[in-house]
Amino acid sequence: MIRYALKCDRGHAFESWFKSAEAFDALRTAGHLNCVECGSPDVQKAVMAPRVASTRDAPEANAAPENAKAAAFEAALKQMRKEVEKNATYVGGNFVREARAMHLGDAPERAIYGEAKPAEAKALIEDGVPLMPLPFMPKSKVN
C-alpha cells in the first residue's frame, strides 16, 4: 500500500491510499479519482516528502496521533452512514434506474442511495444526473 498526498485543480489537498503506483495511475486514467471536497475529477499527486523514521523517534510517540486521526475518521464515516440511512431510501441495484427517472421527471425527487457500476455512474454524470459516491460500502444482507 502507498499513501499519496493529492490535490485537485481547485487547490483542495487530501490524502488517499492505493495498492500501488500503477493502481493510482490506472484509477486516474479511468476517471475514478475525484476530489473529496469538490468532486473535481482533475486530481494530481502533490509534492510530498517521504516519511522516514529516525532512531530517536519512538514508535509509540508516532502511533498515537495517527491512531487518533484514524479513530476520528472512522467516527465521522459512521456518523455519515447513520445520516444517509436515516434521511435517504436504499434502492440497491436499482440506483441507476431510480436516479435517471427522478432526473427526467418520471419519478418524484427524493434522497436515495444504492449501488452502481463505475461505467453506469459515469454515464449518469455525463447525462447531468447529480450524484455523489459514498465513502462506505453498503451493509451486506444476511440470510
User: For 85-125, how does the pLDDT look when each residue is reduced to its tens digit (9 = 90+)?
Assistant: 999 999 999 999 999 999 999 999 999 999 999 899 999 99
Q: What number of H helices and E strands is found in the chain?
A: 4, 5
> pLDDT category, 142, cuts 50, 70, 90?
very low
Tens of pLDDT, residues 116-139: 998 999 999 999 998 988 887 766
* Whether this model's pTM surpasses 0.95: no
Question: Comparing C-alpha atoms, which of 103, 101, 97 is closest to residue 117?
Answer: 97
In angstroms, the first-to-last Cα distance of the chain is: 34
Output the pLDDT for position 17: 87
The whole-number average pLDDT for the span 8-25 is 88
The whole-number average pLDDT for the span 12-39 is 86
CB neighbours of residue 33 within 10 Å: 19
What is the DSSP code (8-state) at residue 89? E
Contacts of 114 (CB under 8 A, 6+ apart): 90, 91, 92, 93, 94, 95, 98, 138
- Looking at residue 74, its amino acid is E
d(CA 143, CA 140): 10
Output the pLDDT for position 110: 94
d(CA 14, CA 4): 9
CB neighbours of residue 96 within 10 Å: 19
